[in-house]
A and B are shown apart, each in its own frame.
Chain A
Amino acid sequence: SYELTQPPSMSVSPGQTASVTCSGDKLGYKYVSWYQQKPGQSPVLVIYQDFKRPSGIPERFSGSNSGNTATLTISGTQAMDEADYYCQAWDSSVVFGGGTKLTVL
């Protein structure tokens, strides 16, 4: 079955850029979505179709996808961006990455 791999955790200083990666075989040929999840809350869609932002998602969130890696980039990271981030794709079924815990410190 298809797998998406994310680093379990990463940290970033406020105001800096965070790049969360998601890797999978030929992932660049698939559409990737990203979800933000804060403790006790439901996931929130922040990027879909590799780079598109839903209404209401700040412009500091961006996405890219090429080769075997998709990347969620958060520019000018804020304390409120501290959360778990999950990538997701479709490969005959829904596939999620294991999630990356982003710490802003």
Chain B
Amino acid sequence: QVQLQQSGPGLVKPSQILSLNCAISGDSVSTNSAPWNWLRQSPSRGLEWLGRTYYRSKWYNDYAVSVKSRITINPDTSKNQFSLHLNSVTPEDTAVYYCARGVEVAGAPSPGYYFDYWGQGTLVTVSS
């Protein structure tokens, strides 16, 4: 059974860096079969995918266009976890943040992608 345990501060000041960790049990961050994702949810933006990290002989990252200039997702193989760093935050970044395991599905004409395991969520408030 895969479990994802999130940790990190719930309050971040505007213009600073939002940092969260997601510890994985029951799987490996280095697996060749699963991307590791960050998402967030707010009343104004709904559920929003932020990005992912995955290993396919080397490490790759994909980021959502909306946050691409401000986001970094890093794996930590020594601790079997991955992290989210979002810089230059504003109150618009206030949301519940989730980590999740992704599943890729080969298909034509369009591949599939979904999330089978989620972390418990972390409410992050951006406020001075």
Contact = CB atoms under 8 A, between A and B. Distances in A.
Q: Do A and B bind each other?
A: yes
Given A90-B110, A93-B64, A93-B65, A45 B115 contact: yes
Counting chain B residues whose Cβ lies within 8 A of the other chain, the interface size class is: 20 to 34
A33 interface: yes
A30 B112 contact: yes
Contacts of A88: 47, 114-115
A86 interface: yes
B26 interface: no
Tell me what chain B mostly uses at the interface: helix, strand, loop, or mixed. Answer: strand
A48 B61 CA distance: 24
Interface string B28-40: 0000000000010
Given A43-B115, A44-B118, A98-B46, 9 more contacts: A42-B98, A43-B47, A45-B116, A48-B105, A49-B105, A49-B114, A93-B62, A96-B49, A99-B47
Nearest to B48: A96
Interface residues of A, number: 23
